[in-house]
Amino acid sequence: MPKATIRDINLDGKKVLVRVDYNVPLKDRKITDDTRIRETIPTINYLLGKKAKIILISHLGRPKGITPELRLDPLALRLSEILRKPVKKLDDCIGDEVEKYIENMRIEEIVLLENIRFYPQEEKNDLEFAKKLARLGEVYVNDAFGCAHRAHASTFGIANFLPAVAGFLMEKELKFLGMILENPARPFVTILGGAKVADKIKVIENLLKKVDALLIGGGMAYTFLNAEGFEIGKSLLDEKISLACEILKEVKQRNIKFKLPLDTVITEKLEEGYPSELVSIDRIPKNMIGADIGPKTIAEFSEILKTAQTIFWNGPLGVFEMPSFSKGTEEIAKIISTLSATTIVGGGDSVFSIKKLGLSDKFTHISTGGGASLEFLEGEKLPGVEVLKDLAEIRKI
C-alpha cells in the first residue's frame, strides 16, 4: 500500500513537524558536505508554498547528554543560506520556552529544534517524550529516510499522536529502492563492493532472487575468491567464509551471472606511494594484499553494465581513499554515469566517490539512506516507514 505524502493532507497554515536527517559531516564546526540538507529543500519549499509553520527535528552525531560541539547552530545557518531565508535555531527541543515560541510562530517561518539526541528518551522511543514533541505541531512529516530503520521517539513514537506522512525525499527513496525489489527493468545488474561479506550477506541473499547479474569487487571479493580456491595472500578475508560458500552455491542453483575480479592491483602495504603491481587473480603472492580491481575486471564489468536497464551499486571496488587504489571505483562510476539505464547508488563511500568526480547529476538516484537503505534492500520493514499513514488511511482524515 503506498504511503501518504505531504501532497495528500491539508497543510495550509498548519504547524508541521518535519523529521529531517541533518547528520552531516563537520570539521571545526564547518559542514563539509551539505547533501542531506539540500535533499530536504523540495519538501521545505512545498510547505512554504502552503504557508505552513515549519518545525524541523534532527540529530547530529552520538551525543551523551548535552554536547556543545554537537549543537545544531551550523545546520540552521547553512539551511538559511541555501533557502535565502532566516532559520531560527532553538536551544531546546521540548519545554515551555519552545512551546511558547512555536505558539507565536508566523506563517512560512522555519525553526530548527536543538539536537534531539541530547535527550536519552529519543533513542529509547519514550512515549511521554514523543507526546511532548507532538504538542509542538499539528501534522508530522518524516523526510529522514536515513533514520527510518530506527524506532526512536522522533521517527516512530511521535506518529502515535499526529497524522504522519512522508516528505518528498522519503517518497523518492521508497520509489527507487522499492522499484529494485518489486519491479526493476531488466536486465537488472547489481555491483557490490566494500569490506566484508558478512556486512552485506542479507542484501546479497535478497537480491539474488531478483538480479540478472551480480558483480563483486572491493575487499569482499577476496573472500569469495578464497572460497573458490584462489590464493589471496594477505588480502582481506572475512572470518565467516562459510557465508561466501553458501552464496556461491545459491548462485549456481539460480544460474545467475556472477562475476569476481579477473585481475587485481596488489601491494605489500596499504600506504599511499608504496610500490604496487597488477597481477592476474591467480598470481597473488602470499605476502601481498589485493587493493583494487584491474583493467580486465573493469572491462568485463563494463560490458555487463552496458547491457543493463537497471543498475544498483553499493560499496567501493578498492581502497578508494588512497589515489593509488581508487581507479577501479572511479572508472566504474564514470562508465555507469554514461548509461541510459536507471542507475541507483547507495552507501556513503560509493556516493562520496561519485561526488568527488562531479558525477552526481549523472545518476538517477543517489540514496541518502546508509544503513536504512541496506536494511530496506534486505527486505526488512523499517519502523519509520511502517508508522506512516497509508494513502487510503489519510483520505479518511
Residue 374 and residue 346 in contact, taking contact as beta carbons nearer than 8 Å: yes
| Active-site residue identified among 38, 131, 240, 348 | 348
What is the SS3 assignment for 328?
helix
196 annotated active-site? yes
Kindly calculate the radius of gyration of the chain based on its CA atoms and give it in whole angstroms. 23
Residue reference for cell 497554515: 13
Quote the distance between the C-alpha of residue 266 and its chain's center: 30
Q: Please give the helix or strand (H or E) that residue 37 lies within, else none.
A: helix 35-38
What is the SS3 assignment for 271?
coil
Which residues partner with 191 through β-bridges?
215, 313
> What is the DSSP track for 72-109?
SHHHHHHHHHHHTS--EEPS-SSSHHHHHHHHTPPTT-
| Active-site residue identified among 14, 19, 36, 234 | 36
Helix, strand, coil percentages in the chain from 3-state DSSP, rounded to 5: 40, 15, 45
Quote the distance between the C-alpha of residue 381 and its chain's center: 16
84 annotated active-site? no
36 annotated active-site? yes
Strand duo 276-280 + 263-267: pairing: antiparallel
| Active-site residue identified among 196, 202, 257, 355 | 196
Residue 105 and residue 79 in contact, taking contact as beta carbons nearer than 8 Å: no
- Give the integer Cα–Cα distance in Å for 44 and 84: 13
Q: Which amino acids are annotated catalytic?
A: 36, 196, 348, 371
